[in-house]
Amino acid sequence: MIYKLGASSPATPAPKPLTTTTTTGTCGVVPLDVLLVIDRSESMVNPANNTGTPPQTRLYYAEHAADALVDQLDQNGGLGGRDHPAHQIGVISFAGTGASGVTINVPLGNSSAAAAKNAINNLQPGSSTPFKQALQIATQEMSGHHRNLYNARPVERVVIFLSDGSPVPADTATPALNDITNYVASADVAYAIAIGQNKDGQISQGQGVDINLMGRLAKPAPANLHQVTTADQLPSLFSNIFTQIACQSADLSLNQAVDQAAPKQNDTVTFTLTVNNTGPDTANNITVKDALPTGLTATTPLPAGYDGTTWTVGTIATGAKAALTIAAKVGAVATTKITNTAEIMSSSVADPDSTPGNGVTTEDDYATTALTVAAAATTVTPPDTTVATPPATPTPTPAAPAATPTAAPSSGFGGLGQLFYGLILLTLVGFGLIAQQIRRAKA
């Protein structure tokens, strides 16, 4: 959000400290470690920069806005001094030369709201603007004192850096790339608030806010770079920041599926994890834990964003989803039952029906998939159905042919001719016998 020229100012600034009331039922669910880094250099108290009715200094409005943020955190989750406070607050201010110009007014820890506001309301202005050293000490404070978990819920690390100037003196106060990188890495969310305008986009030492440098201190950038043209817009901006860090919610759910429910040993199975965000807000810094159980080994290379244990999902807008596939080789023997468990471990916003990382299996941010290793297929030799070939019967040696009687002369008529020939022969024989009988009779 960039505030433009001409934005309305409150008619009368409210007296400090401002007491607020609980905003909504979802505020304060996500535990926060909040570190305020406030510029208190000369330009922050210069009457020429006063705004509002009646006019007040930039530092006044910065203190006023910070007081309101402290009250909101205290009444929505709690700061030190309350039973089981969800939040921690720290305050760092800078003006002067080198590290000596940076003051840890409230160490990041279990300070009460009253103690934090007392320190904020007594910030003392000074000369110069040691950006480099302010970033270095803020990095050390957040890295050294932030909490990882509160009541089993990951703690969101928030830094709010406010300035109306540029590094002075430039040769010793300008942060190096490494200073900026370490600072941004120490927080989950980093707000950079620039007061005033830079002249024609050009920054000279001590003349206007270095918006380019401020933009490099935002995370994510450019979304969390905010520029107000007059300081009386700071209370409204801080109220919006409180809503963003403490009151947003996103209903995240986790689903898991596997492509084979009964794989064999040495098979490769594929798990698919899906995170859905049904809103109402975008969720950042989402992570999912899925450490494969005994009997499964993730194949390499691992998918992008997954280190073998944790899937760094990142950001999912409302109505959107993200998916990851993990391929794993089955090493377990037959009949082994394997359950793969996954859970959403962190989110930048509250979830109305589940708590990331609490291990409650009935919540919708927890998902399991079971499989049973099947027996390998048994190889059976089929019976021999080949019909045996009977032994060959030896061919008998043919006997020598009997002597063939001399055939009667052929009549030339084939079989029929031989028949006629036989009949004629018999007739002649018959006539011969009859003649012989006649002669005997005459004798």
pLDDT at 231: 96
pLDDT at 152: 78
List the one residue out of 297, 284, 363, 295 whose CA is nearest residue 326. 297
pLDDT at 29: 87
Indicate yes or no: pTM above 0.85: no
pLDDT at 349: 85
**DSSP string covering 154-190, please?**
EPEEEEEEEESS--BSHHHHSPPHHHHHHHHHT-SEE
Count the alpha carbons within 13 Å of 391 in the hemisphere toward its beta carbon: 3
pLDDT at 235: 97
Burial (CB count <10 Å: 0-12, 13-18, 19+), residue 336: middle
pLDDT at 22: 43
Taking only the tens place, the pLDDT of each residue in 331-381 is 999 999 999 999 999 888 888 888 888 899 999 999 999 999 999 876 666
pLDDT at 21: 42
pLDDT at 380: 65
pLDDT at 4: 31
pLDDT at 2: 36
Pairing of strands 321-330, 296-298: antiparallel
Rounded mean pLDDT for each run of 10 residues along the chain, 443 residues in total: 33 41 65 97 94 95 98 96 94 96 97 97 96 98 94 90 94 96 96 83 61 94 94 97 92 96 96 96 92 95 96 95 97 96 91 88 96 83 69 65 54 55 63 64 62
In angstroms, rounded to a whole number, what is the distance separating the alpha carbons of residues 80 and 110?
A: 5
